[in-house]
């Protein structure tokens, strides 16, 4: 039941921005590791998937599901919501101009997960994130995000964990150069 609720909420969040007229929408795929809370989350490797939604020229909403791959294939899934700001300039101009090709993102957000003492899915973590390197922009059609580190404060256990994304790819379905010809 929990997996169905998480998947349904992800589909709704991914579908709404396509019709809302945001700057851009990208499909995200990559890796994730949850470090520091091994007693609550025994996974070592996760598939990160979701959407990067451009809210303005410098702000974006990152909705990311992290599905466990190791040690149990496709077991638990958590969903993170981050509001991020580009620090080095425009991520997208909303037109034919590409924006800054190399950027840094900083953000805050929350995570819904089953990483609680009793294992129920609820709001579990507050997040502060830094992505030191992004290469590409929505107008070019793709972007790579490297070495994202997120501090995750668990509201129940009062522990601080680390979410680490080695590499994530964003493939833009709305807001790329194809939309501005």
Average pLDDT, the chain: 86
**Selecting from 2.40.440.10, 1.20.120.140, 2.40.160.20, 2.30.30.240, what CATH number does the domain 23-172 have?**
2.40.160.20
CA distance 25 to 27: 7
For the chain, the straight-line distance linking the first and the last C-alpha, in angstroms and rounded, comes to: 44
- Higher-pLDDT residue of 1 and 152 is 152
Which stretch of 7-16, 22-31, 48-57, 84-93 has the lowest confidence by average pLDDT?
A: 7-16
Q: Where are the domains of the chain?
A: 23-172
Tens-digit pLDDT profile for residues 26-35:
999 999 998 8
The pTM (predicted TM-score) of the whole model is 0.84
Cβ count within 10 A of residue 136 = 21
Provide the pLDDT for residue 13.
56
Environment class of 38 (CB within 10 Å of its CB; exposed 0-12, middle 13-18, buried 19+): exposed
Q: Does the pLDDT value for residue 61 go beyond 60? A: yes
Contact by Cβ (8 Å): 65, 10: yes
Provide the pLDDT for residue 44.
77
């Amino acid at each position: 039941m929990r997996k169905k609720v998480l998947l349904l909420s992800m589909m709704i969040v991914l579908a709404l921005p396509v019709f809302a007229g945001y700057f851009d929408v990208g499909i995200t795929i990559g890796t994730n590791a949850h470090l520091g809370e091994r007693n609550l989350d025994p996974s070592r490797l996760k598939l990160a998937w979701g959407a990067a939604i451009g809210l303005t020229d410098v702000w974006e909403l990152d909705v990311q599901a992290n599905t466990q791959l190791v040690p149990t294939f496709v077991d638990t899934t958590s969903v993170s919501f981050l509001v991020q700001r580009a620090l080095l300039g425009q991520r997208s101009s909303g037109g034919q101009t590409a924006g800054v090709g190399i950027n840094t993102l900083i953000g805050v957000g929350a995570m819904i997960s089953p990483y609680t003492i009793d294992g129920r899915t609820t709001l579990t973590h507050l997040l502060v994130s830094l992505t030191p390197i992004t290469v590409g922009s929505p107008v070019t059609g793709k972007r790579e995000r490297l070495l994202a580190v997120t501090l995750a404060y668990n509201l129940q256990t009062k522990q601080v964990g680390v979410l680490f994304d080695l590499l994530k790819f964003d493939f833009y379905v709305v807001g790329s150069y194809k939309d501005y010809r």
